[in-house]
Amino acid sequence: MVHHREFFRQFRQQFETTGAIAPSSRFLAKAITGPLVQKQRQSENGAPLRVLEVGPGTGAFTKLIVRQLRPQDQFDLVEINDDFANLLELSFENDPHWNNVSEQSELHRCPLQDFDAAEPYDVIISGLPLNNFSPELVASIFDQFWRLLKPGGSLSYFEYMYIRSAKKKLAAKSERERLHQLDEIIKPFLKSQRFKRSWVFLNVPPAWVQHLTAPATATPSHG
């Protein structure tokens, strides 16, 4: 309940960066963490995986990730919202499942664009509300995703079903133009890099999870 109260408080105050209109369901969490489980099964001799969660918020996905981590895996979280970050830190201190992996986990309080890592990641799971952002910001976020992922690594993010297409028909001209520009940035990646799309109807609202594979070399999203 603490997590839900904090979510709705932040939603009222900071919709642009909170994005979701309700806490994500366990069904959405299971779908978005699917590639992590798959890579763990495929890792040779139990080789360690590096996992990054971007925009974890109150931890709807994190609480499943911490249960899936193996002792050899490394887990980083990037959260720009201080109130959410404080809540996540409390969970690592007080929740037994989170505390079990606290030594192999690190929380970074910064925008994704300011985050740097010594080594690339096998898996990135993103809760960022891309549909709320400017085209320039979304382009820079995807650039950073590809910089942080190993070749062949997986990126998973979610979006609410048909929201962008509906807004493009109903919104004001400036908003329609912004959404059209988002399509121009995101659709080429979905066409060339997507290996799966998960449909999650048991969520409010229903959502798609887009699963993409990192290109063999960096692929800038803008010139």
**pTM, 2 dp:** 0.88
Total of domains in the chain? 1
**pLDDT tens-digit readout, 181-212:** 999 999 999 999 999 999 999 998 899 999 99
Residue 3 belongs to some domain of the structure: no
Helices 82-94 and 2-13 cross at an angle (nearest 10°) of: 170
Q: Please, where are the H alpha helices in the chain?
A: 2-13, 15-18, 26-32, 34-42, 62-68, 82-94, 96-99, 135-148, 163-170, 173-193
Residue 223 belongs to some domain of the structure: no
Closest CA relative to residue 79, chosen from 96, 67, 62: 62
Sign of the four-CA dihedral 48, 79, 162, 183: negative
Residue 2 belongs to some domain of the structure: no
Residue 137 belongs to some domain of the structure: yes
Q: What is the pLDDT of residue 162?
A: 87
Q: What CATH number has the domain bearing residue 119?
A: 3.40.50.150
Residue 70 belongs to some domain of the structure: yes
Gyration radius (Cα) of the chain, Å: 17
Average pLDDT on 96-124 reads 97
Residue 10 belongs to some domain of the structure: no
Q: What is the pLDDT of residue 18?
A: 43
Residue 95 CB neighbour total at 10 angstroms: 15
Residue 83 belongs to some domain of the structure: yes
Q: What is the pLDDT of residue 21?
A: 61
Residue 6 belongs to some domain of the structure: no
Containing structural domain, residue 83: 25-213
**pLDDT tens-digit readout, 133-156:** 999 999 999 999 999 999 999 999
